[in-house]
Structure 1
């Protein structure tokens, strides 16, 4: 349990890193985008400004998930981080739609001026900076198995791609293609919405107790291969924050005593922990008869 809390606390460092990076980068993009008249850079800056709110939501979710179990939450508060990631996806959806709307309006009254070249170098600098934030957060997300940090990392990666796209669009506009800049802004909006959808899909799957079928079959095989297990009557699993919970009903020789049956249960728990890094396993034992 303490290891889980420690992992979540590490995740908070990644959330703080994202918040600081987005505050800095959104300010640069919005200011330079306004001064140079770059639609793509301004759209990217608007995206980053709302990413601040999304990152704060992730941070709050991580802090809540560290709260110990209480009388109303016997399993703890781990799902708070998944809820936070879900909220972050809604915020990203809203921003993506707004960017798409504003860009379409710009197409109806296009400008013939190209943004200043400084907008391009600003976009490139921001792309590199947020990509390093992505590398840090994706490693952290995998290490602590956190939905919230994985959502934050996906957002970081999306922002890096968006900024790189803005760089390409602005450079292109310098060669007599000013329409390429708002086109890039349109792509920005699409990427934001796509990233939001991916996060929403993963979070809603976890919150509705969805679990990967192939992974469950692998766990089932581990249980089946455990000495003493005669039959697997039922097995299911679900995601609870950064934890995986497995419930198994097995049949063992009806002539075994309580102690021997308990030893089989402990062996199953040990094998699942070693092979699948899952420490939350609930095992129910029933007697196995030849006729069953």
Structure 2
């Protein structure tokens, strides 16, 4: 099934993030220690927490691929959304930590002047994380994965943190340590903002919120299906990148079972042409007019 194939593709993005963070965190901690840069060491510690977030995303993607069972008859697709929720919490903690440490440094004297090498490492790390961010963002759009999208935004936040680290190091080298603090505060707010956005999107999905524009688009398509007289009810919810749609339509009450079933199949195919990740449940109701015409030859039976 294409859905589960996409989830397996999503694992590539999670593994890429994990491998990149392992490499960068070890490099930053080593060079930060050698080059006496507290900022680079802090950035390296930040990446160690990102490893945990990426592992959470990977676990969520793995669980999402499990087939439906007796307790999860719609499958385990929402595990992916839970993973993005966990990632948002980790990003929020990192953002608050960066903010608190930056505010503390406003009245703490600067330490030893760091080596220029540490600035080069920070700039290189930012470039690497930006490439990973672009890859994961494109992958998340391709497979419609909330978890990989969260991972991509985490990658972007880390690129910004590394840029801030480089600016702070250069500021300290050239005698303007306040630049480090101001940049770190701005970066902290960017991380916190991103975390809140990911958190809100995950909560909306977990509480069965559904995109109003998507409702309008699919409703118009269903109303235009031949044989549908009225769209009586429309409900939708998201499980990962899969949509489950429940609709109730009214049709001619004198249609036989075969003809009514044909209408439900046309509705399902119409919706899936618009969004191939939609699963549609159609309920048929007989259309009852307020002032029905008298028909002496035929009357409905119940």
Say if 1:272 and 1:278, in contact at 8 Å, map to a contact too: no
2:19 maps to 1:20: yes
Q: Residue in 2 aligned with 1:275?
A: 274
Deviation, 1:89, is 1.2
Distance change >3 Å, CA 126–CA 57, structure 1 → 2: same
Deviation, 1:259, is 1.0
Structure number with greater CO (CA < 8 Å, separation at least 6) is 1
Q: Residue in 2 aligned with 1:43?
A: 42
Say if 2:3 and 2:277, in contact at 8 Å, map to a contact too: no
Q: Deviations over 1:224-275 (max 9, x none)?
A: 1111111111101111012111111111111111111111111111111112
Q: From the CA coordinates, give the structure whose radius of gyration is larger.
A: 2
Distance change >3 Å, CA 73–CA 11, structure 1 → 2: same
Aligned length: 291
2:92 maps to 1:93: yes
Alignment of 1:122-141 (within 5 A): 122-141=121-140
TM-score under structure 2 length normalisation:
0.90
Say if 1:40 and 1:185, in contact at 8 Å, map to a contact too: no
Distance change >3 Å, CA 55–CA 78, structure 1 → 2: same
Q: Deviations over 1:105-129 (max 9, x none)?
A: 2222121754322222111111111
Q: Deviations over 1:164-200 (max 9, x none)?
A: 2332333344433121113222233222222211111
Q: Residue in 1 aligned with 2:2?
A: 3
Say if 1:265 and 1:283, in contact at 8 Å, map to a contact too: yes
Separation of aligned partners in 2, 1:187 and 1:257: 66
Corresponding residue SS for 1:184: helix
TM-score under structure 1 length normalisation:
0.93
Deviation, 1:39, is 4.4
Q: Residue in 1 aligned with 2:285?
A: 286
Q: Residue in 2 aligned with 1:78?
A: 77
Distance change >3 Å, CA 18–CA 8, structure 1 → 2: same
Deviation, 1:139, is 1.6
**Structure 1: which 5+ residue stretches go unaligned?**
none
2:67 maps to 1:54: no
Say if 1:252 and 1:261, in contact at 8 Å, map to a contact too: yes
Q: Residue in 1 aligned with 2:65?
A: 66
Deviation, 1:38, is 3.6
Distance change >3 Å, CA 112–CA 44, structure 1 → 2: closer
Separation of aligned partners in 2, 1:18 and 1:88: 13
Distance change >3 Å, CA 115–CA 181, structure 1 → 2: farther
Corresponding residue SS for 2:60: helix
Separation of aligned partners in 1, 2:266 and 2:22: 50
Alignment of 1:199-210 (within 5 A): 199-210=198-209
Which piece of structure 1 moves more, 177-186 or 279-288?
177-186
Corresponding residue SS for 2:254: coil
